[in-house]
Amino acid sequence: MIEKRQEDWENKKSDKGRIVRSEERRTRRRQPVLWKSVINVGTYSFDCVVFDVSLGGAKLKFDLPLKPGTLANLVIKDQWSLPATVVWQDEDRMGVKFDYDESRVRVMFGPLAERL
């Protein structure tokens, strides 16, 4: 069931009826990374790894299930702290959308933002 929902999420039909993979719908460049991070949910903190990042969000390896819509704070490399919202979760992977606008994330990431 989870696999089917994830597949449905990843494969959306365009207005012409063809299936469009999620990678084709992305509007932001993603940078592959391996960053040790922490995700804070309420008063709880959990270790995670960021696998890719964009100005709009990140994909994480995270072993506990969090429902889409969960509000969190992602602390990347003890350097950047970003409020985020869970948008999808599948087994040990999760996608979050940053709650800051892109211009603020760009300033936070500094030179890295040139690759995003």
Please answer whether residues 51 and 59 qualify as being in contact, where contact means their C-beta atoms are separated by less than 8 angstroms.
yes
* Confidence band for 27, pLDDT divided at 50, 70 and 90: low
Across 93-110, average pLDDT? 95
Residue 56 has pLDDT above 60, yes or no: yes
Q: What is the pLDDT of residue 29?
A: 79
CATH of 29-115 given 3.30.470.20, 2.40.110.20, 2.40.10.220, 1.10.8.60: 2.40.10.220
* Residue 48, amino acid: C
- End-to-end Cα separation, the chain, in angstroms: 33
Q: What is the pLDDT of residue 52?
A: 95
Residue 30 has pLDDT above 50, yes or no: yes
Across 105-116, average pLDDT? 89
Please state the φ and ψ torsions of residue 7, each to the nearest 5 degrees. -65, -40
- Compare 52 and 113 and report the one with higher pLDDT: 52
Taking the C-alpha atoms of residue 84 and residue 100, their distance in angstroms, rounded to an integer, is 8
What average pLDDT does the chain have? 83
Collect all residues with Cβ–Cβ distance below 8 Å to 105 and sequence separation of at least 6: 55, 56, 82, 98, 113
Taking the C-alpha atoms of residue 25 and residue 7, their distance in angstroms, rounded to an integer, is 14
Per-residue burial over 52-80, b if 16 or more Cβ lie within 10 Å, else e, is bbbbbbbbbebeeebeeebebebbbeeeb
